A = this chain, B = another copy of it.
C-alpha cells in the first residue's frame, strides 16, 4: 500500500506521509494511546509539522477513521448488488474480498470496533453503510432464503463472524494454534473456499 515515494509532488508528499503514519499508529494503538509525537516520528518529520498540516490530533484521527471505514466498504457495494450472482456466490465473493483485505490490514476491524465503542458518535456520521447493506440485492436474497423463519441478521452475524472474527482474535488464535503470520494467512485462504460451503450448510439447516 505504502509504496516508497518514487515521485514527490512537493505539495502533497509530506501531508501524505503523515497521514499514512497516522493510520498505522492509530490503528495499532487506538486514539487514546497514540501520541502525536509517535506519529511524527513514524512519518520522519517534526511534531510541529503535524499540527501545521492537520490542525489537531482529533482532526487527523477523524480523517484516518473516515478512510478506514471507506476502506472497509470499498468494493463491497458492487458485490452486494450484482444481479447475476446467487446468494452463495455473493457470500463467496464477500469472504474472498474481506480475507484479502484483512490479510494486509489485520487490525482494521478491531480498530474500527473499539473506537466506535469508545465514541459511538463517530459512527452516526458514516452510516450510509446501513442503507447500502439493507437495500442491497444481497439482503433481498438473504431474506428470500430465510423466509421469515429466522431473522436475516443472524446470517449477517454468521458471515462476518466466520470471516472477520478470526482476524479480530488473531493474536490469541495464533498463539493457541502456534501459527506464524504466513501460516495464519494460509488458513484464512483455506476459509475462502469453506465459508460459502459452511454458510450453505447453515442456511439449509433452518
Contact with B along A135-175 (1 / 0, CB 8 A): 00000000000000011011011101110111011011101
Interface assignment of A49: CB less than 8 Å from any CB of chain B: no
| A120 nearest CB across to chain B (Å) | 6
Q: Give how many copies assemble into the complex.
A: 2
CA distance A164 to B166 in the complex (A): 11
A165 touches B157 (CB 8 A): yes
CA distance A164 to B165 in the complex (A): 9
Residues of A contacting B: mostly = helix
Interface assignment of A45: CB less than 8 Å from any CB of chain B: no
Interface assignment of A48: CB less than 8 Å from any CB of chain B: no
CA distance A98 to B205 in the complex (A): 22
CA distance A198 to B120 in the complex (A): 32
- Known A-B contacts A32-B33, A169-B113; A123 and B161 likewise in contact (beta carbons under 8 Å): no
- Known A-B contacts A157-B162, A165-B160, A205-B198; A172 and B133 likewise in contact (beta carbons under 8 Å): no
B169 touches A160 (CB 8 A): yes
- Report chain B residues within 8 Å CB of A194: 150, 154, 206
Looking at A6-14, A23-31, A59-67, the stretch in contact with chain B turns out to be A23-31
CA distance A117 to B150 in the complex (A): 35
B158 touches A162 (CB 8 A): yes
- Report chain B residues within 8 Å CB of A187: 151, 153-154
Interface assignment of A190: CB less than 8 Å from any CB of chain B: yes
- Report chain B residues within 8 Å CB of A120: 171
CA distance A29 to B177 in the complex (A): 30
B116 touches A114 (CB 8 A): no
The 5 closest A-B CB pairs, nearest first, are A161-B161, A32-B33, A32-B32, A161-B165, A201-B201
Q: Sample 15 A-B pairs with CB under 8 A, ordered by A number.
A: A29-B118, A30-B118, A31-B33, A110-B117, A114-B114, A117-B171, A123-B171, A151-B177, A151-B187, A156-B173, A157-B166, A157-B191, A160-B169, A161-B166, A202-B202
